[in-house]
Structure 1
Amino acid sequence: MPEAAPLLLQHLNGMYAMQVLAVGDRSGALAALLDGPGDAAEIAARSSLDERNVEQWLRCMHAAGYARHEAGVFRLTPEAAATFDDGFPIDARGILDFVFAISGEGVRRIPDAMRTGEGVEPEAFAELGAAASRINSRLYAAALVDEWIARDPALDARLGAGAAIADIACGDGDATAQLARAFPRSRVIGIDPGARPRTDVPNLTLFAETAERLGDHGAFALVTCLDALHHLGDPAAAVRQMAGALDGEGVLLIAETSMTGDVDRDIAADPFVLSTHAAGLFYCMQDNLAAGGDGTTTSRGLDWVATAVAEAGLGAVDAFESDTGFRVFLARR
Structure 2
Amino acid sequence: MIRRSFLCTLVLAVSLPLAAWAEAPLKVVATTGMIADAARQVGGDQVEVKGLMGPGVDPHAYRQTRSDIAAMTRADLILWHGLYLEAQMEHFFHDLGRKRTVVAVAEGVDKSKLRAHDDYADKFDPHVWMTPKLWRDVVLEIQTALTEARPEAAEVFAANAKAHLADIDRLATYANNALSSVPESSKVLITAHDAFGYFGESFGFEVLGIQGISTQSEAGLNRIGELVDLLVDRQVTAVFVESSVSDRSIRALIEGAAAKGHDVKVGGELFSDAMGEEGTYEGTYVGMLDHNITVIAGALGGDVPGRGMDGKLSAGF
TM (normalized to structure 2)?
A: 0.33
The answer to which structure, 1 or 2, has the higher relative contact order (CA under 8 A, 6+ apart) is: 2
